[in-house]
Structure 1
Amino acid sequence: MDTKSYVNKLIENVKIKNPGETEFHATIKEVLTSLIPLLEKEPKYIEEGVLERIVEPERQIMFRVPWVDDNGKIQVNRGFRIEFNSAIGPYKGGLRFHPTVNLSIIKFLGFEQIFKNSLTGLPIGGGKGGSDFDPKGKSDREIMRFCQSFMNELYRHIGENTDVPAGDIGVGGREIGYLFGQYKKLKNSFDSGVLTGKGIPYGGSLARTEATGYGLVYFVDEMLKDKDLSFEGKTVVVSGSGNVATYAIQKVQELGGLVVACSDSTGYVYDENGINLNTLKEIKEVQRKRISEYTKYHYTAKFVEGSQNIWTIPCDIALPCATQNEINIDAAKTLVKNGVIAVGEGANMPSTLEAIDVFLENKVLFAPAKASNAGGVAVSALEMSQNSMRLAWSFEEVDERLKNIMKNIYNNSKNAAETYGFEGNLVVGSNIAGFKKVADAMLAQGII
């Protein structure tokens, strides 16, 4: 059987064993097909069954999360933790609290996390978790009670050298604080390295809040520099208005770019004068309100319902930082038609496979999520290092380390693409570079 047929058969087997998990199927297809050039040159990964093992999580945990709301009514949610691969280090990956969370999404995110973490060059494996709990509209006390119930089960499966969760969509500093407090109480031990994204007073790292957004822009900046381009004077559209989007906007503005739009689940705001970052932070981080509030502060801005429509805005650089599959084939064609020169993924897999093909076919510079949004987990790993040493680095030191990590990820992805005959294709390059490190570690450790 030739390599392509082998890969296609494995993809079909994954679909059969994991029925209905469309997000998981998509990432398996994207990663495995891009590995074909490597597998043809180095068949040992096929002969030793590495692919059959790497697509199967080492452990899948699903559990009930009962909690009591402010009206005294019992609510029940479902919790997940997928410990996907620990070949190069303890499982590492965020917790997502969002009503769309299901097994497929957590497995897709966990699989992506294996290679993203590998690319950072740091000793961390791949995992992911979360719940279909929706923190929007909940009081602080309701969120605290949910987090405590969630941790009542999760604590059995995590540890500084076992599995280290962090935040993700719906899980910020408030939620991490409640989770850590309950873990500490249950274990009667101050294991600061068991969760990352913590508050600074109890073991958090400076620059962690900014890390994913900053890291995205550092990566895209390297990609632009390779073509003698920069953010200076470029029109930029950023989807989302959460942590990643906010700090991507901040760094783009520092580098001279003009960010004209951002969004949330209700729609987007367009401000031809450039998004006012202070206003955005006030609305989203302090008031926790909808993005439409922006127009109350800036009368020249306009709000448009439907967040997908943000990609109709002409721009030089697009930074999707909201959620998976937000750029479909039609949105990609519109971006290309309007002259986009670069797309950098800040969210997890925000472009569909068909959209990615459109970008690559039209020679758009494309930064895939597993490479370009690795900044968050990179600084999470740096937080783990600081916890282990019981010290804290300055913001500038962490930021400089982050910048170097993102530069190395870009160069490693670029070099892997060139080595295997796909010059300029960072999708293939990042998958191969990330996979090879994990696969070699798996081979060295025997059939486990």
Structure 2
Amino acid sequence: MTSARTEPDSAATEGQQRLPELLTPVYTEVLRRNPGEAEFHQAVLEVLESLAPVLTARPDLQDPELVERLCEPERQIIFRVPWEDDSGVFRTNRGFRVEFNSALGPYKGGLRFHPSVNLGIVKFLGFEQIFKNALTGMNIGGGKGGSDFDPRGRSNAEVMRFCQSFMTELHRHIGEHTDVPAGDVGVGGREIGYLFGQYRRLANRWEAGTITGKGQGWGGSAARTEATGYGCVLFTAEMLNARGEDLQGRQVTVSGSGNVAIYAIEKAQELGANVLTCSDSEGYVVDEKGIDLDVLRQIKEVERGRVRDYAERRGPSATFVPGGRVWDVPCDVALPSATQNELDADAARTLAGNGVRAVAEGANMPTTPEAVRVLQQAGVAFGPGKAANAGGVAVSSLEMRQNAGRDTWTFAHAQDQLAGIMRDIHGSCRETAERYGAPEDYVTGANIAGFERVMAAMVAQGVI
């Protein structure tokens, strides 16, 4: 993991050299204003360095001040979260909400509870969310939040007390027309329930559209739980289809074993692929017969256990590899679905050398910049997270639509809507890349398509 953590910084100089000259001062100012926030720097640089074609073709967007404004959050909220553990010890965590850009609609983005969360992480996620949300075609802006609280190993009562304290502060900043949080790493159905309950208590109103990812019995949407993982695989299928290929019979590696990974595995299996791997922070499992989802779900969703338990329970077809890299397993398709910068350049060379055909990001920015270049230079179809994992926020937006109309959709209808949105996102990325002279470059296509939509709204609304 060390190389993955350091590579973005080591590649920064090379990345700056590829920046359009017009935007070099913008990135310099981002570095000055946000010292030490490596992930945020990486996310901004990845977008800015792909904008040269659109800035050349569209003089109306050649305004460095406008781009600088895009890189500066509209609001950054940091707050203290005191809570009491089961032993009666009072503890304090830090909470964040970065409301990054509302040009297209209310801020929309998840909450992440994990010890690694800091302001730079939340800003990188919020910046990515601007473009991801724009690509859905829906009227939602970009934001993100979370805390350095770790729900792993905590009792339900401890998680509830933390969530209630967190929402006691956050509730003043959110609302269905202002900012609509959802779940992310460490924030699943349990946490969303406690958060929404406390919001209701404080607001003294039933405002279902204030939080998404709710249970289906109390304002949630069918297919929301599955949406990010399903959407990633659907986007991957579209990339392969554009090359005259499909997922049938393909060998697939997936990293992670949380919500995104589990449902990416499920959809890939539905489309005829054989999914070989899953992982967590302790290592990875390779199962030559294909991951058994019933076993994995029992361990991860019910028992909240580790993937090593899967190998012990599954039998001789499954092997647990402590540490190591899931990307060493030969495959046709790779879906990094765990965390940022998990797939580095060495891993990308291994994947390319083993003949991988497509890589799509189920997590947010799991592939380092150099790894992306390695994959693209090898002719691998690469789907960036702001496009490939947009399914989650897309169905969250559909949940908001249902809440606004006091409506409830069937799973089949919600899934059909998701499939259509992912097709449209793929088409938009591909068409935009071709229009700007970068055919099959989904990174360029996603960045420019999102940029154009957000910029048009910002220009129309004036300097605010």
Q: Does residue 305 of structure 2 align to residue 305 of structure 1?
A: no
The Cα shift of 1:265 comes to: 1.0
Alignment-derived partner of residue 204 in structure 2: 188
The match for 1:275 is 291
Give aligned-pair identity as a percent: 59
Q: Displacement, 1:176?
A: 0.3
Q: CA deviation at 1:45?
A: 2.0
Task: Write out per-residue CA displacement over residues 55-102 of structure 1, whole angstroms, 9 at most, x where no aligned residue.
Answer: 000000000000000000010000000000000100000000000000
Among 77, 89, 92, the residue aligned to 1:73: 89
Counterpart Cα distance in 2 of 1:33 and 1:149: 41
Gap regions ≥5 residues in structure 1:
none
Considering only aligned residues, what root-mean-square deviation do their CA atoms show, in Å?
1.0
Cα deviation, residue 325, structure 1: 0.2
CA distance in 1, matches of 2:158, 2:410: 34
Paired residue secondary structure (2:150): coil
Give 1:376's aligned residue. Answer: 392
| Compared CA separation, residues 326 and 48, structure 1 to 2 (3 A) | closer
Structure 2 counterpart of 1:348, from 364, 379, 395: 364
* Alignment-derived partner of residue 288 in structure 1: 304
Distance in 2 separating the partners of 1:443 and 1:236? 43
One-letter identity of the residue aligned with 2:418: L
Residue 404 (structure 2) pairs with residue 388 (structure 1): yes
Aligned to 2:41: 25
Do residues 100 (structure 1) and 116 (structure 2) align? Answer: yes
Q: Hey, what's the Cα distance between the residues in 1 that align with 2:19 and 2:322?
A: 46
Whether the aligned pair in 2 keeps the contact of 1:3 and 1:40 (CA below 8 Å) is no
Counterpart CA distance in 2 for 1:372 and 1:323 is 15
Aligned match of 2:248 = 232
Q: What is the distance in 1 between the residues matched to 2:384 and 2:19?
A: 24
1:102-142 alpha-carbon deviations (Å, 9 max, x no partner):
00000000000000000001110000000000000100000
1:42 CA displacement: 1.1
**Runs of 4+ in structure 1 over 3 Å off:** none
Question: 2:12: which partner in 1?
Answer: none
Secondary structure of the equivalent of 1:95? strand
For residues 50 and 253 of structure 1, the distance between their equivalents in structure 2, rounded to whole angstroms, comes to: 44
- Tell me the amino acid that sits aligned with residue 33 of structure 1: E
Range that drifts further, 288-297 or 421-430: 288-297
For residue 79 of structure 1, give the secondary structure of its aligned residue in structure 2.
strand
Corresponding position: 1:146 with 2:201: no
Post-superposition offset of 1:44 = 2.0
Could you give the per-residue CA deviations for residues 331-377 of structure 1, whole angstroms, max 9, x where no partner exists? Answer: 11111111111101000000000000001111101010000000000
Residues 158 and 164, structure 1, Cα contact 8 Å, conserved in 2: yes
Q: How do 1:80-99 residues align onto structure 2 when only pairs under 5 Å count?
A: 80-99=96-115
Question: In the TM superposition, what are the counterparts of 1:203-242 in structure 2 within 5 Å?
Answer: 203-242=219-258
Q: Which residue in the other structure is 1:119 paired with?
A: 135
Aligned counterpart in structure 2 of residue 162 of structure 1, from 173, 178, 203: 178
In structure 2, distance between residues paired with 1:3 and 1:104 = 22
Counterpart amino acid of 1:303? F
Deviation at 1:3, TM superposition (A): 7.8
Letter in 2 for 1:194: T
In structure 1, distance between residues paired with 2:180 and 2:93? 22
Aligned equivalent of 2:29? 13
TM-score where L is the length of structure 2: 0.95
